[in-house]
Amino acid sequence: MNFLRRTVLATAAAMALVPAAGFAQETIKVGEINHYKRMAAFAEPYKLGIELALSEINEAGGVLGQELEFIFRDDQGDPAEAVKIAEELMTRDGAVMLTGTILSHVGLALSSFAAEKGYLYLASEPLADSLVWKSGNPYTFRLRASTWVQAAMLAEEAAKTDAIKYATIAPNYAYGQDAVEAFKANLKRLKPEVEFVAEQWPALFKIDAGAEVQAIERAKPDAIYNVTFGTDLAKFVRDGGDRGLFDGRNVYGLLTGEPEYLEPLGDEAPEGWFVTGFPWYGFEDGTPGKTFVDAYTEATGETPKIGSLVGYMTAQSIAAGIEAAGATDTESLVAAFEGLTVENTPIGELTYREIDNQSTLGAWVGTTALEDGKGVMVDWEYKDPAPYMPSDEDITAMRPAE
Amino acid sequence: MAFLFAQFLTGLANAAALFLVASGLSLIFGVTRIVNFAHGSFYMLGAFIGIYLMEILPGAVGFWGAILLTGIAVGLIGAFVEMVVLRPIYRAPELFQLVATFGVILVIQDLALMIWGAEDRLGPRAPGLRGVWRIFGEPVPKYDIILIAITPFILFALWYLITKTRLGVLVRAATQDREMVGALGVNQAWLFTGVFALGSALAGWGGALQLPKGGADLLMDFNIIGAVFVVVVIGGMGSLPGAFIASVLISVLNVFGVTYLPQSTLVLMFVVMAVVLIIRPYGLLGREEVAGEHGQVGAPETPIRPYGPMGQALIAALLLGLALLPLFVDQFMLILTIDMVIFALFAASLHFILGSGGLVSFGHAAFFGGGAYAAALLVFHTDTPMELAFLFAPLAAGLLALGIGWFCIRLTGVYFAMLTLAFSQLVWSLAFQWRAVTRGDDGLVNIWPSEWLSGTETYYYFALILGVGGILFLRHVIHSPFGYALRAGRDSPRQAEATGIDVKRVQFVAFALAGAMAGLAGGIFVFAKGSVFPTELEIAKSFDALIVVFLGGVKTLAGGVVGAGFMTVVEDWLTRLEYWRLLLGLVIIAVVIVMPEGIVGTLRTLWRRIRNTDEETV
């Protein structure tokens, strides 16, 4: 036990050095918490996107005349750890607000913590609908288009076909379940006669692709709705392609078109799937999207992922929010984020809705194809999320009384 | 019928890679008694090295040659790890080596990220084996057939190696009685290195062979390790045919599970393992562990006694220091200390059954998370006042421990550990999948303490009193007659029985008490963080506690507490750095090598030595 005390004191001494190693007082700090190691494939492009935006913002004079700085911290994908780091960032490192996380459950933990302590939290990447709806709170804002909206866009397209019998495959956790529920609800509303003949739930990143493909084939569906991603998607596409599962069937893929998931598939990328994603290669010269892609490619030497875009827009949103607030205390910041408009983002003008603190970032939908041995999205369009949102009354009813 | 047969073939094909990896782990355990957590890392290395070699070696010869070379390369890496990391610590207490292998996992993860980058790699196809053959009209991928065909050859080759060669004779002899093999003049060190290299090579082959069905990514080490342990345990630790039967059984059942119970993917294999272990406590083909076979290594433990006046004064001073802490430090320091107290209580509760009871539990998080969930569920669904819900945490965790303990206590050693793991996984999947009640991995949020406790300072005192109280209570129990009975059962079950101690009942009660204390820690935790997620029930959480107990020193009384304090601080500090996993892994390995008795144990030995020399000079 004696050792315990000594280590406590040693840490106190060690950590006293950390702020000293920081910069001068002329910066506004933002606490960014993410799973940089556990989700390296997603977190790295996201961080690069933030850094690009920061360099642009600070070159243009920073915010409120000061430099904007992000403090990046790794939470190991553990919600409890994230909450602890958040406390340190706010009380010790002098951060004015919090942002970050990819995994929804970590985002939900931070959101609850932010509301309890009265800190502002901008959830950048987590997709869970409950973040802004059922568990929404006045201190939490969210940037990325939610699961519900993206699934609704796919359901709208699916409803246009003759397919009646659907099979779904989704990773067995909250995101997968929400995604299937949202697709079913939207499709049934548009086309009540559809039926769901098979629902497959592989464990996340532990798919038994052969067995899943056989099980779907056995149900003889007309169309398939896919929510798997990452290595699960690669195995599913490979086994399904070999066994002819996708022949003559429409497939709808949530997030399948995002470069994070499509690029690793190489020349085995599926063709003819209708997906949501990020077709950066198709942006036309002179559009804000193309400007972002060029700047990112030049700065990093890599092609952008969807995470790059989200990271970039996160930093842009925060700069705009602080500028609009004119101060860095939480109350002014929260007030500024309510209905905040962010100019000149890669998708044009972005706003944070007052009703549920959700941003108006939409999603790109299109059809997958092979070009030069690589999977791409063709015939794509950017869709505004507004028509796919639940009604304002429904949202108000879902959100706990503010 | 054709469909069922095709499904069966899918299961057999899946069994191939699983069998290779599991047989390697089983061999290593059989001979060296090391529970090698890093085995999944060798599998991952096999996949990455395999892709690299396949890219430079062309054609079909290149493809199969690359697989062969991959196994050799991974085998060499395994030999290196064994010689550098494990060889110095064979004399450490039983299962201590698993801490070192945990360090190896962290190091390999960061090295793989540095070398190969973060992006997932799709495995190359086997040349000429793309597409399907039709069997009774059902499509079966060609490569699946190849896998099914070569697995028996691998089994046969291993069987030949083990039963017909001199090396095999030595390996079998060492599996049964390694001291005797050493006494007969066999160089044990090289035998161990050789077996570890072979086991690693098998994992590497497994990683390379699965490439045409999947690929390589940075999460695959953790993703396979659960299944591999399940296979090894079901088959019987150390049994190769057992590993083969179990991998086929698990793989085939999994395929049918996917079709007929699609939601079962999370737990099916753990249910199978629990059932097998309850019916056959040593796996399908395993043999009963002989008491004392590998339990006590090194000098017998000196009897414990309560701290003397100086020790008590130090503890009192420490407690006073903690009580006055809010006067000197900022808010975050208090929060870090709360975390430390919670983790210390959790580790102390595990240390209680592990150190004093000799029961190695791999599933202790079930009680920590169980307590947290019990309190959170009450608050979330019924708006129970915080004080009442909090009381419910240790109570529910204790009850849960009674239930789980009833099944587990009859087993011993690694099999006990694995059954606790299976049950904790069941509890986890319940929290994960029963969304109507637990909200799945969206977790239970907004579980904050009552108004009077909500200040950081107040909650600090609340956590301190209960946490330290719990730890002192456990220490008191260890020094009570019950604690002596518990240790008697650990050191010599037969003699304990002969003196009238009902060993199993004492262990059962101790298990429940440890569960209740872990639940208490969970209760403090949930109101400190305001939310609880299934991550608190994960295997990783159980291993966190296990590692700090070993790191602190199993055969000491303060080991759990000191280990927890050390780990919290080191992690908090290291995670600020870019390659913190590499550094943390190296720190763990260094501590393990320098302090084979754990931090407290080694300091104690050092202290005694210094005192003795002093006495001599005087």
φ and ψ at B119, to 5 degrees?
-75, 140
Cross-strand bridge partners of residue A97: A30
Q: Does A24 touch chain B (CB under 8 A)?
A: no
Measure the CA–CA gap between A144 and A147, rounded to whole angstroms: 9
Structure tokens at B126: 């086997």
For testing contact with chain A, the best of B5, B147, B332 (most A CBs within 10 A)? B332
Structure tokens at B483: 């604690």
C-alpha dist (Å) from residue B388 to B449, B500, B517 = 11, 40, 17
Query: Where residue B343 falls among pLDDT bands split at 50, 70, 90?
Result: very high
φ and ψ at B123, to 5 degrees?
-70, 145
A309 in Cβ contact with A49 (< 8 Å):
yes
Give every CB contact of residue B271 below 8 A, 6+ residues apart in sequence.
B422, B426
Measure the CA–CA gap between B286 and B271, rounded to whole angstroms: 19
- What pLDDT is recorded for position A22? 42
φ and ψ at A255, to 5 degrees?
65, 0
- Looking at chain A from residue 380 to 399, which residues have their Cβ under 8 Å from any Cβ of chain B? none
Tens of pLDDT, residues B500-547 = 999 999 999 999 999 999 999 999 999 998 889 998 998 889 988 998
Measure the CA–CA gap between B575 and B133, rounded to whole angstroms: 50
Residue A2 has pLDDT above 60, yes or no: no
Please enumerate, as own/partner, the contacts of B152-157 that have beta carbons within 8 Å and a separation of 24 or more: B154/B19, B154/B20, B154/B205, B155/B19, B155/B23, B155/B240, B155/B241, B155/B244
Q: Does A3 touch chain B (CB under 8 A)?
A: yes
Cβ A7–B569 below 8 Å, yes or no?
Answer: yes
Tens of pLDDT, residues B554-590 = 878 888 889 999 998 898 888 888 888 899 999 999 9
C-alpha dist (Å) from residue A128 to A111, A173, B32, B445 = 12, 11, 46, 14
Tens of pLDDT, residues A325-355 = 999 999 999 999 999 999 999 999 999 999 9
Cβ B119–A264 below 8 Å, yes or no?
Answer: yes
Structure tokens at A354: 């007052």
> What is the residue extent of each domain of chain B?
2-218, 334-536
What rounded mean pLDDT belongs to chain A?
A: 90
- Find, in chain A, the residue whose alpha carbon is nearest to that of B7: A211
For testing contact with chain A, the best of B130, B222, B258, B339 (most A CBs within 10 A)? B258
CA distance A54 to chain B (A): 20
Query: Average of pLDDT values for B117-126?
Result: 87
Measure the CA–CA gap between A362 and B394, rounded to whole angstroms: 46
Cross-strand bridge partners of residue A277: A257, A364
- Find, in chain B, the residue whose alpha carbon is nearest to that of A33: B576
Residue B305 has pLDDT above 80, yes or no: no
Give me the domains of chain A, ranges plus CATH numbers: 10-146+288-361 (3.40.50.2300), 148-280+363-388 (3.40.50.2300)
Q: Does A105 touch chain B (CB under 8 A)?
A: yes
Tens of pLDDT, residues A81-132 = 899 899 999 988 999 999 999 988 899 999 999 998 899 999 999 988 888 9
Residue B145 has pLDDT above 50, yes or no: yes
Chain A residues in contact with B321 (beta carbon < 8 A): 5
C-alpha dist (Å) from residue A200 to A196, B2, B227, B265 = 11, 21, 20, 9
- What pLDDT is recorded for position B302? 66
Give the position of tokens 């904790």. Answer: B424
- Find, in chain B, the residue whose alpha carbon is nearest to that of A91: B332
Cβ B531–A113 below 8 Å, yes or no?
Answer: yes
Tens of pLDDT, residues A228-261 = 998 899 999 999 999 999 999 999 999 999 999 9
Pairing status of strand A95-100 against strand A121-123:
parallel
Chain B residues in contact with A5 (beta carbon < 8 A): 318, 321-322
Burial A184-200 (b: 16+ CB within 10 A, else e): bebbeeebeebebbbbb
For testing contact with chain A, the best of B121, B445, B459, B570 (most A CBs within 10 A)? B445
Query: Average of pLDDT values for B324-342?
Result: 89
Nearest beta carbon to residue A87 from set B258, B332, B340: B332
Kindly provide the residue ranges of all beta strands, DSSP E only, lying in B137-244, ordered along the sequence.
138-141, 215-216
- What pLDDT is recorded for position B273? 87
CA distance A284 to chain B (A): 27
Cβ B218–A116 below 8 Å, yes or no?
Answer: no
Measure the CA–CA gap between B165 and B20, rounded to whole angstroms: 20
Whole-number CA gyration radius for chain A: 22
Torsion (CA) A109, B522, A35, A355 in degrees, nearest 10 = 0
Give alpha helix (H) positions in B480-558: 481-491, 493-498, 503-529, 539-552
Q: Does A374 touch chain B (CB under 8 A)?
A: no
Q: Vertex A189, ends A188 and A190: CA angle to 5°?
A: 90
Q: How far apart are the first and last CA of chain A?
A: 46
Nearest beta carbon to residue B575 from set A4, A15, A76: A76
Measure the CA–CA gap between A164 and A160, rounded to whole angstroms: 11
What rounded mean pLDDT belongs to chain B?
A: 89
A-B interface: how many C-beta pairs under 8 angstroms?
Answer: 237
- Looking at chain A from residue 164 to 193, which residues have their Cβ under 8 Å from any Cβ of chain B? 172-174, 177
- What pLDDT is recorded for position B289? 63
Nearest beta carbon to residue B530 from set A75, A112, A135: A112
Tens of pLDDT, residues A131-162 = 898 889 999 999 999 899 999 999 999 999 99
Cβ A92–B332 below 8 Å, yes or no?
Answer: yes
Q: Which of B100, B123, B103 is nearest to B212 (CA)?
A: B123
Measure the CA–CA gap between A166 and A188, rounded to whole angstroms: 11
Q: What is B63-81 written as a DSSP string?
A: HHHHHHHHHHHHHHHHHHH
Structure tokens at A319: 């700069």
Helix B309-328 and helix B331-351: axis angle, to 10°?
150
Measure the CA–CA gap between A279 and A289, rounded to whole angstroms: 10
Q: Does A13 touch chain B (CB under 8 A)?
A: no
Return the amino acid letter for B494. R
For testing contact with chain B, the best of A6, A8, A51, A305 (most B CBs within 10 A)? A8
Q: Does A151 touch chain B (CB under 8 A)?
A: no
- Find, in chain B, the residue whose alpha carbon is nearest to that of A174: B441
Cβ B259–A215 below 8 Å, yes or no?
Answer: yes
Kindly provide the residue ranges of all beta strands, DSSP E only, lying in A300-351, ordered along the sequence.
341-345, 348-351
Please enumerate, as own/partner, the contacts of B465-470 that have beta carbons within 8 Å and a separation of 24 or more: B466/B520, B466/B524, B467/B341, B467/B342, B467/B344, B467/B345, B467/B521, B467/B524, B468/B319, B468/B322, B468/B341, B470/B345, B470/B348, B470/B349, B470/B517, B470/B520, B470/B521
Query: Average of pLDDT values for A222-228?
Result: 96
Q: Does A116 touch chain B (CB under 8 A)?
A: yes
Give every CB contact of residue B395 below 8 A, 6+ residues apart in sequence.
B374, B516, B519
Q: Vertex A357, ends A351 and A360: CA angle to 5°?
A: 35
Measure the CA–CA gap between B564 and B548, rounded to whole angstroms: 5
Q: Does A87 touch chain B (CB under 8 A)?
A: yes
Give every CB contact of residue A360 below 8 A, 6+ residues apart in sequence.
A350, A351, A352, A353, A384, A385, A386
